Amino acid sequence: MKRKAGHFFLGLFALAPTKIVMREAPPCHKGLQAYQNTLHAHLRKDCLPCHDTGGLADKPHSVSDPETSLQRIIAYVNWSDIPKSYLVKKGGNGHCHDHGGTCTSTEAVIEEQLKTWWEQGQKECPNFGNVVTAPLALPTDEIPRVLSYPLASQVPEITGAKLELRARYEEGAYVLDQPRLMTKKTGVKIQGLSIAVNGRWQAGANSWQRVRARVAPQDSPLISTTTLRVAKDRDEDTLAIGIQTLSPTDAFDCHEWERFRKEVLPVIANRDCYRCHGGGPSAYPGTAAKERLNMAVDESSLCRNLLGRGNGMSAIDCALISLPLRGTFGHPREIPLAAEILPSWEEWIRAEEVHRRAPQSLTVNQIR
Ligand code: HEC
Ligand code: HEC
């Protein structure tokens, strides 16, 4: 059902790429009401005065307006693993005593509040994601800005990981593109992105829900090449990102060596992607392209770097295929004919994804 809707919008984009302005979903009253009765009431008792407007801490998350408070608080929650949420750890660690406060919350108390909020209504809200980032201000002019969302406050094991995207304002709408996952020491599995303007889920702008990537440590691949447009709401709009699955993973290596050597490497060599991306038989130093995708590496790292930019569920809008084939984002059209890489590369990516679903990946923090 969901998948069908995705293709429907993909079709629309192909027909009329510039003029679609998405409708927005109403705020989720059930979730908000449950929040007001549970965690919000608790924060208003235990976390003031520091986290109220103008309080000691510079992050006013316990303000009286429940909707504003919810938008800020939800960014500290990992719905796929509530006890590991940053809000549980930080809110339950007694830090208020370091600042002269008298709060009494323990980890168990915050965890209980979160679980009741979820059970009493939040779980019935639009499927916005298990993890929601803190909102960032959207730009007000046509100069593209990079919005950078830290992710480790929701999933502490992926320290230093960030989600970045480009945003600009144009003719009554925001144009969002080039989402990128930056990893540090830990590999990260990411799946299904939704967007929220001023905390409201944008049900129509759903193309990034097809994102699924496993990113090796120290990489920063483009994870979708689709551009989203959402209508301006009011002055000083904010954008938050909901993520369906976000977890550490060590399953990002390649297995399908025969396919890789037969279907993928020869095209890279024939088209001499190395000229710009570095490496190859001529040991090119590479251009700026190498910083985005380094090909001057051994075979297994090359495979892993390419695969990190592939998506077997959505081959045509993954960077590995879309950029050199369709010239997306001004990339040179190095591959003139689709038949050179399709369906062979798509099949290679899918075959790799089957390996990644093997038992090793089930040991990490998985969807419930
Ligand atoms: C007496 C003041 C005080 C009280 C009461 C207090 N905090 Fe804090 N809190 C702070 C200060 C100061 C900071 C910023 C410095 C730091 O991170 O320790 C902070 C930071 C935080 C952060 C991290 C914000 C971020 O974006 O990094 C969270 C989450 C938080 N508090 C939750 C709570 C919760 C939940 C309660 C109530 C159970 C609470 N705090 C009670 C003073 C307080
Ligand atoms: C003439 C130079 C040039 C050649 C040849 C070239 N690329 Fe690129 N490529 C670039 C540049 C420049 C970028 C970075 C664009 C940016 O982000 O500004 C890039 C970026 C990419 C990216 C996105 C990486 C990321 O995660 O941001 C992919 C995937 C890619 N190239 C694939 C290929 C493939 C496959 C080939 C060969 C078929 C190829 N490129 C050949 C210049 C080139």
Nearest alpha carbon to residue 192 among 204, 208, 214, 178: 208
Q: If you count them, how many residues does the chain have?
A: 368
Is the minimum distance from the CB of 255 to ligand 2 under 6 angstroms? no
List the residue whose alpha carbon is closest to atom 14 of ligand 2: 289
DSSP per residue over 92-110, as a string?
TTTGGGGGT------HHHH
pLDDT in tens, the chain (368 residues): 334 443 444 433 433 333 333 333 456 889 999 999 999 999 999 999 899 988 888 778 999 999 889 988 987 887 878 888 889 989 999 999 999 999 999 999 999 999 999 999 998 876 567 888 888 999 999 999 999 999 987 788 899 999 999 999 999 999 999 999 999 999 999 999 999 888 777 878 889 999 999 999 999 999 999 999 999 998 889 999 999 889 999 989 999 999 999 999 999 999 999 999 999 999 999 999 999 999 999 999 999 999 999 998 888 889 999 999 999 999 999 999 999 999 999 999 999 998 887 544 333 333 33
List the residue whose alpha carbon is closest to atom 19 of ligand 1: 57
Helix, strand, or coil (residue 361) = helix
Any residues with Cβ below 6 Å from ligand 1, and which? 43, 46-47, 50-51, 56-57, 59, 76, 87, 90-91, 95-96, 99-101, 103, 105
Distance CA 236, CA 221 (A): 29
Which of 39, 47, 153 for a ligand 1 pocket mutation test, highest count of atoms within 8 Å of Cβ? Answer: 47
Is-contact 353 251, C-beta < 8 A? no
Q: Which residues, at least 6 apart from 251, have a Cβ–Cβ distance to it below 8 Å?
A: 187, 189, 214, 355, 356, 358, 360, 361
Q: Please name which ligand lies nearest the alpha carbon of 310.
A: 2
Q: Please name which ligand lies nearest the alpha carbon of 133.
A: 1
Q: In this predicted model, what pLDDT tens digit does every residue of 126-136 receive, in sequence order?
A: 656 788 888 89
Query: Which phi and psi angles does 244 have, rounded to 5°?
Result: -65, -50
Nearest alpha carbon to residue 24 among 193, 207, 164, 198: 198
Q: In this predicted model, what pLDDT tens digit does every residue of 219-239 receive, in sequence order?
A: 999 999 999 999 999 888 999
Distance CA 217, CA 183 (A): 5
